[in-house]
Amino acid sequence: MVCPLAQQNGLGARIVTSAVFFAVGSGLILHVRRALLRELQQIRKIAGAAQNVLLRPLPPRIDGLNIAAVQHSADHGAIVGGDLYEVIATEHGVRVVMGDVRGHGLAAIGTVAAVLGSFREAVHDEPELGCVLRRLERALARHLRERARAEHPSATGLDPESPVAEEFVTLLLLEIRRDDEMYVINCGHPWPYLLRSGLAPAGARGHAERLSSEEPLPPLGSFPLPAELPVEPCGQLLPGEALFLHTDGVEDARDSRGRFFPLYDALTEAVQVQPVSPQSVLRTVFAGLLRHSGGRPADDVALLVLRNDRGRVPVQHGTAVAQRVT
């Protein structure tokens, strides 16, 4: 309105006026876009920091164990999904949790926070693994009640028809003591694999086998825990041997033809490289999983590998010394 050219009716004046307004408008749009991008980057940085605090990166070594872990969220842009893991050295031994919350998204992240927060406290306080599990059960129940009240303020309890009432967590608790003895409680979670160096029965270098074939307990939250909790002894994790823990998103991943990911074959391939390295096992399995699923697994995925790098310290009970040296 104040541009002199705008008062003229010539074609040239109109073209110049339009170009001026186009340039001004484009500049304003670019300025707003840059401001929004800066704000989005800052929000992502804050969200990433918060998620890293929740599922914090594990150190490479804990009490003589070499550790490697990776987590992949099915939600685009999220670092943390519905899978959880933690490894903590305590006076009772190294204690490990691997879990999978039903579903994914923000609701699952809240459940992950409740379970992990309780685990990080309970492993130091409770001498028995079963007592740790009961602490996790109470923390999960408390979290679900609070979430149900937040979503339905008028409700007096946990409505059986509410989606919150169907929430559950598959959970595996593992304890590796100072004498390398392993004890496990499994609540509906896939059993870990034991990765061994040396010759397999078929003559191959290294082999993988399930740590146990026992029937697990129901997932946490679906049913009350029994009065007696079976803590299963799983032998020793000998020096040089490794454990591979995973969530069911690994074995349930499908390719374009609907075939499941062959986890056992991937582990068998990974242990051919001697000695068994947690980092190389992780790279081999995770790369194979991404190839199999076309780069986007449909479910959250978590992998954790622990190798015993402790020295061969003689023990006091019978034939265990010869067993540890072989």
Encode pLDDT of 19-75 as tens digits.
Answer: 777 787 788 888 787 777 776 565 555 445 455 556 688 999 999 999 999 988 876
Greater confidence, 56 or 159? 56
pLDDT of residue 42: 57
H helices of the chain, in order, are 11-54, 106-125, 129-151, 248-251, 263-270, 278-292, 320-325
CA distance 108 to 103: 6
pLDDT of residue 46: 47
CA distance 213 to 193: 11
Place of tokens 């499941």: 260
Instruction: List the single range of 97-101, 160-164, 296-300 with lowest mean pLDDT.
Output: 160-164
Residue 297 pLDDT greater than 70, yes or no = yes
pLDDT of residue 245: 97
Greater confidence, 307 or 28? 307
pLDDT of residue 59: 92
pLDDT (mean) for 151-164:
58
pLDDT of residue 198: 65
Instruction: Give residue-wise pLDDT tens across range 83-138.
Output: 899 999 999 999 999 999 986 666 778 888 899 999 999 999 999 999 999 999 99
pLDDT of residue 79: 59
Instruction: Give residue-wise pLDDT tens across range 212-262.
Output: 988 999 999 888 999 989 899 999 999 999 999 999 999 999 998 999 999
CA-wise closest residue to 171 among 142, 152, 192, 151? 192
Q: Which two tokens stand for residue 238?
A: 């000998």
pLDDT (mean) for 191-203:
75
CA-wise closest residue to 272 among 227, 222, 207, 182? 207
Confidence class of residue 315 from pLDDT cuts 50, 70 and 90? very low
CA-wise closest residue to 187 among 126, 229, 236, 244? 229
pLDDT of residue 275: 76
Query: Which residues 6+ apart lie within 8 Å of 134 measured at CB?
Result: 225, 229
Greater confidence, 44 or 294? 294
Residue type, 45: K
CA distance 74 to 78: 8
CA distance 278 to 324: 20
pLDDT of residue 117: 93
CA distance 83 to 30: 39
CA distance 263 to 288: 9
Instruction: List the single range of 103-107, 109-113, 159-163, 173-177 with lowest mean pLDDT.
Output: 159-163
Confidence class of residue 319 from pLDDT cuts 50, 70 and 90? very low
Confidence class of residue 321 from pLDDT cuts 50, 70 and 90? very low
Q: What is the pTM of this model?
A: 0.76
Instruction: List the single range of 2-6, 226-230, 292-296, 320-324 with lowest mean pLDDT.
Output: 320-324
- 54: helix, strand or coil: helix
Contact assessment for residue 300 and residue 249, using Cβ atoms and an 8 Å cutoff: yes
- 159: helix, strand or coil: coil
